[in-house]
Structure 1
Amino acid sequence: MSSNHDPRWLERLWRGSLALTLAGLVGAGALAATASATPSTERTGEAGGLTQTRTLSRVFAADGAEEVVDSREVTVQVSHADQLRGRERVKVSWSGARPSGARAADPYGENGLSQEYPVVVMQCRGTDDPDAPASAQVRPETCWTSTRQQRSLAVSDRTAVWRHDLFATDAAREAKSGRDPFPATECNDPASLSSHVTPFQARDGKEHLACTAETMPPEAAVGAAYPPAEVAAFTGADGTGSVSFEVRSDVENGSLGCSATVACSIVVVPIMGISCLDDDRECRRAGRWLPGSSNFSQQGVDLAVSPQLWWSESNWRNRFTFPVTFGLPADTCDIQDSRPPTGFYGSELLAQAALQWSPAYCLSKSRFKFQHNRMPDEAGFKLMETGQGAAALVSGERESTGDAPVGYAPTAITGFSVGYSIDRPDNAGEYGQLRLNARLLAKLLTQSYLGSDLGRGHPGIEDNPLSINRDPEFQRLNPGLDDTAREAAATVLSLSESSDVIESLTSYLQADPAARAFIAGKPDPWGMVINPSYKAIALPTREWPLLDEYVPSTERECLQQNPAPYFTQLAAPVATMRKIAEAVLDAWPNVQTRCERATSSDPWKLGRVERQGLGTRFVLGIVSLGDSARFGLRDAALETKPGSFVAPSEASMAAAVKLAKQKERTGPFVIEQKAVRASGKAYPGTMVVYTAARLHGADKAESKKVAQFIRVATTEGQRPGRGNGDLPAGYLPIRRAGVTAPLFATAQRVADLVEAQQAPTTAAEPGDGEDDGTTDPSTDAPGTAPDPDDAENPDQDGPTTAQDPTKLASSVTATPDSSSRLGRVALPLALGIALLGGLLSSAARVMMRLRRIR
């Protein structure tokens, strides 16, 4: 870390572990360790959640007296606030708030302004820590909004209700408030109107007036890469509400600038209405819409109770501020460690774990610089075999082309899911219990839905439904959804390249009799048939082909200028599951059927369709469980035995691992889909990621690094958490005991053989998961952390149970980064303070060590 980093970074990394208030550290240059900006903040649950409760009120003043016209005790919770990553979702929920009226179809950004009494949720730079310098205090100017309408307005003097705000200063009540002098020329505001502007202060110090599109920060430009994150959320008649709020790091929003070294907060502002200094009629308005009503046509609302005045003192003083911390950025190792990396090549399923594991290696000089390089499993395996890569990351056995045997060390248990974003009709919220069977997935992959009228001319499938939501089989499993035809609902976004994920998915199809019969050409019970281009396709396969070549006949000029296979444009696969996850997150299908041109004289071109609006979303995609957990996506439950639908969870993944069979003691474990179907409790998308490496003939130095990686990854790396070296949500921990014990034992065995680089002298016997004496799992090898079962769960003999049985989200604790140098200093230091009471001397040692890390 550079020496100019904010010293509060240390406090933010420790906040989940320190129980003491280190007030004595202030004099040493660090801030007191505190859980929040207000004394009422409490930690809730095991995932680092925070809760605050406050009494909010609206007050009318007249003739020297003040009357409280509305008072409510509001409680706000955030699900987690530590070690966040860009685009991660945090659940924000509340109770006791005033019920909202005029519900918007899309509450994000400018579209959420036409509501009454919503709850505004924003991400802001800074905190409410009273001991922080003024530059680090949260204020309206450091809160992100994506449009000028949320920061500026010009209205007649009669409706300028902020000029009557009881809690505002005299200066703020002036007609041209917000700046003195008011930039009327830059903001194009006539002198006859009352105007207000809340400029945005960027991280680099630049001030953006934010009163025109041209004066907004660059990330707010039209066509920005990401949709608005700030939301004016609806409160139900019972005073409760919730929203999944997406945080942005400096990678996504450089102007806001939130990072591991820049303090930021989630700010929640329940709109109670302007408290009025006098008896001004406009200021005292209480809303024209009934609680629970909808305003899909975006008609007018009372400004005094709208979110457009979130910045006014009456509203801003009612804010709830939750400090958040961000994990180290992906390029940390490139910046901090100049050593050349040791590349491990292959499975994207390890991506989220590798993101947290990498700093645990590069920030420790006793370890090597680990680098995860995503590529098709097959390509990664070939690089390992030829010596161009230290190890491969794969999820299945490969046929070796060399003479050296290959060991498969189980490194992570995770898998894939069908992630989705689907809305209920009439803006009734997001659908949360999607169920799919193998035949429905086969229909999607084989391009057997027509998409639109353009597909009706396809020979052999003219009578098939346009999209899956119009399929009677889908409707039977998922009642209550709309039947509006959508091109995006005719496909599932998938991978364009070879992957063990596709092999696992298509194995699931092959194991299902109904799906297998459909692919062979048998109609489903409602008469739907397979696209002839895919009839009798061989399964399983590692790469899904685009076989349909149908080009529709049409009079549309755009399509005549761009003739192309229509169903390929619908499928439009991509190279990474990360891109699929972001498409689902944004409800932005990758369907390439949008006709566009710059001018009427330019030729037409085809491009990606627009994002779907809230309330009309329907997007499906094959995503990794790690990405799904990180981004807060929903996962479909997949059918196993008839009538049994299983969603990803720690319990269902453990049930799948229990079925795994191992042929050789250094080989992979095979989870047969036939056994998964018979189980009824196992999740079909469960997969094991292995570190595959040569057992002899490889470079000794590189092999030692691979062995170290296996040992660390299967011990320290299996501790669930959000810090450096921890195992993120989306993975089932590999334990020394319980159902995963055979995988742990195999990993240690392979690590020893990889390091020794000696071929086995006797033929391998079929493994039963018991230790064969080649390694002692109870002995910590060099570079190995203590097993989490020994230190934290000595009596645990199986996997933990996820809090939400329909979603894999490992129980996460807010612990310091255990594997970085800072993490190894923080916890022992905290204990030393508590036991010895040497507060000031310990603080000095912390600052000296932190300075060395920097």
Structure 2
Amino acid sequence: MAAREKTAGRPVLVRFCGVLTAALAAVGLVLLPVPSGNPAHAADSGSDSGSGSAVTKSGTKGPYDDFSGLKVTVEQTKGLRSQAVRVSWTGGQPTLTASGPFGADYLQIMQCWGNSPDGPDRTQCEFGQGPLLSAGAGGLVSQRQVGNPSAQDVNHLYDPAETEYPREGPTRGFIPFQPAVGDAVSDQTNLGTYFSNQNTNEQPYNSTGADGSGQSIFHLDSSADSDVLNCGAVAEGETQPQPCWLVVVPRGTHEPDGTVFKSSAGLLTSALSASNWAQRIVFRLDFAPNESFCPIGQLERPTTGSEMIQEAMGAWEPSLCTGEKITYSYDQQSDDVARDLVLGGAEGSAGLAFIQRPVQPPPGSAPFVHAPVAISGLVIGYNIEVSGSSVQVPRLRLNARLVAKLLTQSYHCDLPGPNSQVFRGKLPQTNPTTLYQDPEFKALNAGFRGIGPCQGGLIVPQNPSDAGAQLWRWLRSDPDAANFLKGKPDPWGMKINASFLDEHADAADSTLADFPRPDPTAWVPAPDHPDLTVNGVGVNPFGGSLHDDATRVRDAYNQALTTPDLLNQPPKLTGNPQQPGMRFEIGLTDVATATRYRLGTAELLNAHGDFVSPTIDAMTKAVNAMKESGTSGVLDQNPALRTPGAYPLTSVTYAAASTGLDAKARSDYATLIRFAAGSGQTPGIGLGLLPPGYAPLTPALKEQAQAAATRLMAGAPSVPAGQSDNGGASGGSMSFTGGGSGGTASSGGGTGGTSAGTGGTPSPGGTPAASAAGGTSGGSTPPGSHNVAESGSSTPGIILGAVRWVLLIVLVAGVAGSLGGPLLMRAGAVHGTGRKLLSLNRGNRKTP
């Protein structure tokens, strides 16, 4: 049986074959326009988001409704993967309402497969499991049934042009579904074999505004996530990936037989019915190849760690695979697990970890280098529709206390219970039911309207992470949020869920890096089935990752299972995605993933008092203000700094590797670092480029990364027995305390570490390169850690012989004494200042 979804959370190993990647690079497919501004919001400005493959098509005139003035644009049609794309249109008729928000004059959108140049057949489209509108309206509009077998059923009008699937015959008016992989199904019951209402991406209802325009964000699936359509798969013996199609079916005010829609019910016939299907507008979708691999037997260097680097590694790895003849696989793991893996040094395990907080090797072991490779940030992504339409709200503002309320299940709808039950569990009755009913939220988001009962819980990943710790640190550093977490009510009387004041789930705990759900409230929705119990996690389940959070937000379904299905044997709990025109979903993710899935990103209140989006400029300002932590070369990513215009949850991801690795491994990982900090910082959409959602490294951080790569190649310096040379920390544990405006980062037991509090030494744009190489602050520089910075414009082919020349230069400098030192420092300063900076194209962003 074909599966709808493949295993989630598997290691990201993007491996394109060498010949294909080289060919793509040769024709310039990787040299695409550069996005700018807010990476997660840039698509709202109306261009093709830098993809260079936007396509616009017009409708046609039908027998009853004229769609010839309708123009539909799909912003990206080439180089696609599992992502979201914007579909926009003009020249339509304003949507008419019936008993629900969609009566007539709207668009239906679906993804299909097929190799015919004329587009797909009806049997090849993922359609038929869409939501039925409330109050019984909608008929067969979102179904594959094109005619009810009962001629007496006047609520299901039959299309007189339908000859291929008549209501009298084997199909009884049902259009079979033929997946790209698997057997066809010819009835509604078996359609769930391939997709259901809980995971389909079809959009049966998309509204048009009073000005004749509209837009929708469509979630495309590639074969990497679903083989139902198998988009992007390369068949055996073929060289080109499987294309797919986006089909738009405009609906007017008439049924296929000429009947005008009834205002009490709306349109009733399926988009797949022959007359409706004849008005379709078809867009070819060309996907990047999936499941392509680097040459078999090629050297592999595994990496692991933070999800903040996942999108970047997906773009970098194919270029490294072909350019360096090394396969750099990436396995997303929690930061703590990644640190343990590279410290363990087991045979075959990852030798390089991507983390935000440093690796601390034990005394006497080889030091680690920490090379900055990416600037990104944690965001609260949202999919919130303007009430009664398919248009996403343009702005959402949140402060730290509102986020604290969401994370502590302090709204009544964050706990289980029937919608008719206003107050749940032991929450104070004065607490609002939902986020959008909170007076504090309303004050920040004027004119915002709530759109449904019990929607708005925050989707969060289950596992701890450095990003999670940074979020809690932001909450503790904000006086209003900190007081709320300690039990003080807000000005409107709302209090924290008391379960979070327990010593085992203290939300004010400075060590929190995950998101506990300690409230014991439970609910049995079917009294005769006490085994079907819903708890706080059932109402708002954990996501598997930041990526998983983003897809749930995009699909407007947090995967809650709260509705009893008593017809199933045995009975089970099921769930339903939110209805069109009523979507409200928010969740934690990173900027790059939010960009990929076209989510809105909330403006957050920083310590300076500014509401800030995660733009390139805002993240760069945050990095420039960061101070050095207790580990030399690693910035204290303190969200409490009072920096004007800085995004508070900005993060710097470091590539950490031990200088105790063997020489070949050190050289290979140094090559990865040099690429990531060099040409990998060129913003764009394509192989080898820096995907939208990242801010390019500052010049100082680039220099620091190149110096760290040089240090890594040189290997571990000689140190006295029992002492660790780890950038100023002698084996002590790092503690990050987020209080006040400066916060503190200290090294327990370390020597030579610097304080990152208000009195710490600033290091705009990152710490100096010599410090980044792993030497102690203010101490003597170990051999091999000199600031030999590369231009960063290409992937250098490094060999160990170069290190001998570096050491020779060091020797000459030592003989020269006080004269050589200043000369070298002056030369280094000139080299750093004269480096050509990358300019950013101020076009729109698009998913990588």
TM-score normalised by length of structure 2: 0.71
Which of the residues 417, 433, 445 maps onto 2:407? 445
Corresponding residue of 1:81: 77
CA contact (8 A) 2:197 2:576 kept: no
**Equivalent residue for 1:337?**
296
Quick one: distance in 2 between partners of 1:428 and 1:462?
A: 34
Moved more, 370-379 or 469-478: 469-478
For residue 713 of structure 2, what is the aligned residue in structure 1?
755
User: How far 1:582 moved relative to its partner?
Assistant: 2.4
Give the aligned residue type for 1:50. A
Cα deviation for residue 640 of structure 1 reads 1.5
CA 573–258 in structure 1, closer or farther in 2 if over 3 Å, else same: closer
Over 3 Å counting, the alpha-carbon distance change for 1:802 and 1:594 in structure 2 is farther
1:477 to 437, 444, 448: 444
SS in 1 for 2:366: coil
Q: How does 1:418-567 map onto structure 2 within 5 Å?
A: 418-427=380-389, 429-451=391-413, 456=423, 461-482=428-449, 486-489=453-456, 491-535=457-501, 537-544=507-514, 546=516, 548-551=518-521, 557=527, 566-567=535-536
Structure 1 residues 365, 437: CA separation in 2 closer, same or farther (over 3 Å shift)?
closer
Code of the aligned partner of 1:476: A
Residues 628 and 634 of structure 1 are in contact (CA less than 8 Å); yes or no, is this contact kept in structure 2? yes
CA distance in 1, matches of 2:537, 2:123: 47
Structure 1 residue aligned with 2:87, among 68, 82, 92? 92
Confirm whether residue 203 of structure 1 aligns to residue 180 of structure 2: yes
Matched, 1:586 2:552: no
The question of whether the paired residues in 1 share the 8 Å contact of 2:244 and 2:286 is answered with yes
Give SS of 1:237's match. coil
Q: 1:746 aligns with which of 704, 715, 729?
A: 704
- Could you state the TM-score of these two structures normalised by the residue count of structure 1? 0.71
Partner of residue 218 from structure 2, selected from 239, 245, 262: 245
Match of 2:50 in 1: 46
Task: Give the deviation of 1:409 after TM superposition.
Answer: 0.9
Please give the alpha-carbon distance, in whole angstroms, between the structure 2 residues aligned to 1:554 and 1:254. Answer: 36
Alignment: residue pair count:
696
Distance 2:170 2:309 in 1: 50
Paired with 1:476 and 1:650, the residues of 2 have a C-alpha distance of 28
One-letter code aligned to 1:231: P
3-state SS in 2 of match to 1:673? coil
Separation in 2, partners of 1:475, 1:17: 44
Question: Could you list the per-position Cα deviations for residues 129-168 of structure 1 after superposition, in whole angstroms to 9, with x for gaps in the alignment?
Answer: 58xxxxxx544444332359336325769998855xxxxx
Map 1:559-708 onto structure 2 (within 5 A): 566-567=535-536, 569-570=538-539, 572-591=541-560, 593-595=562-564, 607=573, 609-641=575-607, 644-662=610-628, 667-675=633-641, 678-694=642-658, 696-708=659-671
2:163 counterpart letter in structure 1: S
Q: Distance in 1 between matches of 2:252 and 2:28?
A: 32
> Would the aligned equivalents of 1:49 and 1:77 in 2 still touch at CA under 8 Å?
no
Give how far 1:487 is off: 4.8
Q: Measure, in 1, the Cα distance between the counterparts of 2:635 and 2:292.
A: 34
Distance across 2 between alignment mates of 1:760 and 1:468: 57
What are the Cα deviations for residues 4-62 of structure 1, in whole angstroms up to 9, with x where unaligned?
9xx9x98999695899xxxxxxxxxxxxxxxxxxxxxx9956332423354732458xx
Q: Name which of 335, 357, 360 aligns with 1:377.
A: 335
**Aligned-residue CA RMSD in angstroms?**
4.4
CA-CA distance at 1:417 after TM superposition = 0.8
1:321 matched residue in structure 2: 282
Deviation at residue 558 of structure 1 after TM alignment: 6.6
Output the CA distance in 2 between the equivalents of 1:160 and 1:467.
41
Q: Is 1:782 matched up with 2:796? A: yes
Report the Cα offset of residue 575 of structure 1: 3.9
**Is the 1:83–1:722 contact (alpha carbons within 8 Å) kept by the matching residues of 2?**
no
SS in 1 for 2:592: helix
Offset at residue 219 of structure 1 (A): 1.6
User: Is 2:123–2:178's contact at 8 Å kept on the other side of the alignment?
Assistant: yes
Give the C-alpha shift of residue 539 in structure 1: 4.4
**SS of match in other structure, 2:707:** helix
SS of 1:94's equivalent in the other structure is strand
Deviation (angstroms), 1:554: 8.6
SS for the counterpart of 2:371 is strand
CA apart distance, 1:347: 0.7
Q: CA deviation at 1:728?
A: 2.2
Provide closer, same or farther for how the CA distance between residues 238 and 226 of structure 1 changes in structure 2, counting only shifts above 3 A: same
Secondary structure of the 1:308 match is coil
Distance 2:123 2:429 in 1: 57
1: CA distance between counterparts of 2:328 and 2:202?
A: 33
Matched, 1:218 2:198: no
Per the alignment, in what secondary structure is the counterpart of residue 56 of structure 1? coil
Counterpart-to-counterpart distance in 2, 1:12 and 1:714: 20
| Contact persistence 1:418–1:622 (CA under 8 A) | yes
The structure-2 alpha-carbon separation of the partners of 1:530 and 1:760, relative to structure 1 and needing over 3 Å to count, comes to: farther
Residue-by-residue CA offset, 1:814-838 (whole Å, 9 max, x unaligned) = xxxxxxxxxxxxxxxxxxxxxxxxx
Per residue, is there more helix in 1 or in 2? 1
Please show how residues 70-149 of structure 1 align to structure 2 within 5 Å.
Answer: 70=66, 72-86=68-82, 88-102=83-97, 105=100, 115-126=103-114, 129=117, 137-147=119-129, 149=143
Q: 1:43 to 1:252 in 2, by over 3 A?
A: same
Match of 1:120, SS state, is strand
Distance 1:795 1:392, change over 3 A: closer
Question: 1:339, CA displacement in angstroms?
Answer: 4.2
Residue 479 of structure 1: SS of its match in structure 2? coil
Q: Which residue of 1 aligns with 2:227?
A: 254
Q: 1:442 to 1:771 in 2, by over 3 A?
A: closer
Q: CA 1:798 to 1:659, structure 2 compared with 1: closer, same or farther past 3 Å?
A: farther
Residue in structure 1 matched with residue 40 of structure 2 by the alignment: none
Determine helix, strand or coil for the equivalent of 2:428. coil
Is 2:226 the counterpart of 1:227? no
Checking the alignment, whether the CA contact within 8 Å between 1:119 and 1:269 is kept in structure 2 is: yes
Deviations 1:675-715 (A, max 9, x none): 2xx22411112111111111x22122222221111112222
Q: Distance in 1 between matches of 2:304 and 2:543?
A: 19
1:167-316 residue pairs with structure 2 within 5 A?
A: 177-178=163-164, 185-187=169-171, 189=172, 198-203=175-180, 208=185, 210=186, 212-213=187-188, 216=191, 218-220=193-195, 223=196, 226-260=199-233, 261-271=241-251, 283-285=257-259, 287-288=260-261, 299-301=265-267, 308=271, 311-312=274-275, 316=278
Q: Are the structure 2 counterparts of residues 637 and 485 from structure 1 closer, same or farther at C-alpha, using a change threshold of 3 Å?
A: same
When residues 338 and 622 of structure 1 are mapped into structure 2, their CA distance, relative to the original with a 3 A threshold, is same
How far off is 1:90 after superposition? 0.9
Cα separation, 1, equivalents of 2:476 and 2:340: 27
Query: Aligned with 2:89: secondary structure?
Result: strand
Counterpart of 1:407 in structure 2: which amino acid?
A: V
Task: For CA contacts below 8 A with separation 6 or more, give which structure has more relative contact order.
Answer: 2
Give 3-state SS (helix, strand or coil) of 1:152's partner. Answer: coil
Aligned to 2:305: 346
- What is the identity percentage for the equivalent residue pairs of Structure 1 and Structure 2? 25
Query: 5+ unaligned residues in a row in structure 1: which ranges?
Result: 20-41, 61-68, 108-114, 131-136, 164-172, 190-194, 275-280, 290-294, 735-739, 785-789, 804-808, 813-854
Shift of the alpha carbon at 1:572? 3.9
